Amino acid sequence: MSQAAHTITLPALSEMKKRGEKIAVLTAYDASFARVLDGNGVDIILVGDSLGMVIQGHGSTLPVTLDHMTYHCANVARVTRRAMVMADMPFMSFSSPERALDGAGRLMQEGGAHIVKIEGGGAFLPVVETLASHGIPVCAHLGLLPQSVHKLGGYRVQGKDELTARVMQEDALAMQDAGADLLLLECVPATLGTAISQALRIPVIGIGAGPGCDAQVLVLHDILGLTPGKPPKFSYNFLDGKGGVAQAIAAYVHAVKSGDYPGRDHSY
């Protein structure tokens, strides 16, 4: 898949962090929504394996395959002109550096991704090092790891005690040293999100990680009020009271950039 140069690059994101300019991230899984996100100021479009739940109707992200991710990423990348496109590497697709290299190559060549995201801590440092050494941008993912939901015993806040918080901080620095270009923190106390963001040179994306992170990400269907059941604490329905989807997305971007979101009510 051929791609033109995009406005939002890794150096651009680094400059935004240095300036203290917040970075707005949202998920998308198809061309129609990708166009709206791209046209309303979203800096990074995450083609997340959350599609397993919000698109495919599964109870977790585990059934999502590399074929699924490549297909949806290509749909998004095909129409995106400004934003960076980030693709999740699905469950077991990065179980070894060699397998990760093959999968990331597909997501970039066939899917048009600019950067791939992997879940996990220190055990995956060799994966990050291998991808980085081959010129593949990587976003590391720490905190709540949806692909490890059965191991964790559910969707719970991580890093609440001193030991696990310290390990997460060490893993974050190690991922940066291994060559990660971005870090995503999910469901951690706001104080820990701030501490890690301040300690790292690379931009840190938070989801339920407090206002001190350099960037914020939410699942598109959550901000549009489409997720059944009780929404997560860190979510907010930006469509409520707005004229339409485009206005809701613009409101989300403005809230992130201005620092209005997330507030105390959306943090742990």
For residue 80, is it within any domain? yes
Q: Residue 262 is part of which domain span?
A: 10-266
For residue 170, is it within any domain? yes
- Helix ranges restricted to H, 4-161: 10-19, 31-39, 51-54, 66-77, 97-109, 125-133, 149-152
Determine phi and psi for 15, rounding to 5 degrees: -65, -40
For residue 3, is it within any domain? no
Q: Which are the contacts of 193, defined by CB distance < 8 A and separation ≥ 6?
A: 185, 204, 206, 209, 210, 212, 213
Give the domain CATH number at 111: 3.20.20.60
Query: What was the pLDDT predicted at 116?
Result: 98
Query: What was the pLDDT predicted at 148?
Result: 85
For residue 5, is it within any domain? no
For residue 1, is it within any domain? no
Query: What was the pLDDT predicted at 2?
Result: 42
Query: What was the pLDDT predicted at 1?
Result: 43
Query: What was the pLDDT predicted at 108?
Result: 98
For residue 4, is it within any domain? no
Amino acid at 248: A
Helix (H, G, I), strand (E, B) or coil at 218: strand
**Is the link from the previous residue into 262 a cis peptide, with omega within 30 of 0?**
yes
Q: How far apart are the first and last CA of the chain?
A: 41
For residue 130, is it within any domain? yes
Whether the Cβ atoms of residue 131 and residue 100 lie closer than 8 Å to each other: yes
Query: What was the pLDDT predicted at 231?
Result: 84
Domain count along the chain: 1
Q: Which are the contacts of 134, defined by CB distance < 8 A and separation ≥ 6?
A: 101
Considering 15, 98, 119, 186, which one is annotated as catalytic?
A: 186
Closest Cα partner for 253 from 209, 232, 213, 223?
223
For residue 115, is it within any domain? yes
Residue 68: both structure tokens together: 């699924």
Q: Flag residues of the chain having pLDDT under 50.
A: 1-2
Give the C-alpha separation, 185 to 198, whole Å: 13
Tell me if the pTM is above 0.85: yes
Residue 170 is among the residues annotated as catalytic for this protein: no
Give the C-alpha separation, 21 to 257, whole Å: 7
